[in-house]
Structure 1
């Protein structure tokens, strides 16, 4: 089976990768970063750009996709440094909420476990900002490991 680890480059997602690598049995692992083209983000943002950001004509990739691929590679490096050996990466274009992309890829991979970090928000901040980890937990049809922020985190 495959372990899917959601990685966005934050300290919390780094803690999740490190925790999973140190505490789970070595299995094939996919480090996944969700990205969305800026032009799509502008569609729902109140501001509009004068000129849309389109894919680079030489390699047909959006800059956001390239950055997501690099970010996923960074997560894979953390996983390998912590002891995982069978690690691949995936930069997934989101077409909606990030949590939905994570759940969909986990289903596609038939992942045995989804691992995600938690920003540790509570109360009103959690309601206003939402929680990817909470939504993954409630919508996934498979086990989910939510790794809390490190104890020394002042949140």
Structure 2
């Protein structure tokens, strides 16, 4: 990184609690490093088999929902003084984050997203990014909730 380039952080945002924490962490780190954050929210059409075509009445709902989730996450984080670029893209979340990581100094993701396997400590997207990123990766976990916290 030369003297004029900003430290670039990519943050994966899907609306989950871990992704909100990842975004907060990314913005805080960017503030400390006088850097910038690219918040990436990926969406895909759900798989459809023969006979299910009619279940999707409005294909625009997917990108609109992704944009709404990202906007809500961006509103919740104090990004004053930090350039934050929102990027909503169509494609596999891991692939889109890995593509964004090509020009990044750091990728920050939540340990788990909105996937269906709640018992896993590390979700499939964060695992893929962790194992294949061209730059360092930070995986943010939520604190477990117990009665004595």
Q: Which TM class, normalised by the smaller chain length?
A: 0.7 to 0.9
**Structure 1 pair 116/142, CA: closer, same or farther in 2 (3 Å)?**
same
Q: Is the 8 A contact 1:114 1:145 kept in 2?
A: yes
Note the C-alpha offset of 1:145.
0.7
Q: 2:134 matched to 1:141?
A: yes
Q: How many matched pairs?
A: 137
**Structure 1 pair 36/126, CA: closer, same or farther in 2 (3 Å)?**
same
Measure, in 1, the Cα distance between the counterparts of 2:14 and 2:51. Answer: 24
Match of 2:17 in 1: 11
Equivalent in 113, 123, 126 of residue 120 of structure 2: 126
**Structure 1 pair 46/134, CA: closer, same or farther in 2 (3 Å)?**
farther
Equivalent in 42, 51, 54 of residue 50 of structure 1: 54
Match of 2:68 in 1: 70
Structure 1-normalised TM-score?
0.72
Match of 1:29 in 2: 37
Measure, in 2, the Cα distance between the counterparts of 1:11 and 1:133. Answer: 14
Measure, in 1, the Cα distance between the counterparts of 2:111 and 2:98. Answer: 16
User: Could you say what the CA RMSD is over the residues aligned between the two structures, in angstroms?
Assistant: 3.2
Secondary structure of the corresponding residue to residue 42 of structure 2: strand
**Structure 1 pair 144/47, CA: closer, same or farther in 2 (3 Å)?**
farther
- List alignment gaps of at least 5 residues for structure 2: 1-6
**Structure 1 pair 22/153, CA: closer, same or farther in 2 (3 Å)?**
farther
Q: Is the 8 A contact 2:41 2:93 kept in 1?
A: no
**Structure 1 pair 84/144, CA: closer, same or farther in 2 (3 Å)?**
farther
Note the C-alpha offset of 1:130.
4.8
Q: Is the 8 A contact 1:5 1:29 kept in 2?
A: yes
Q: Is the 8 A contact 2:112 2:123 kept in 1?
A: no
Q: 2:108 matched to 1:102?
A: no
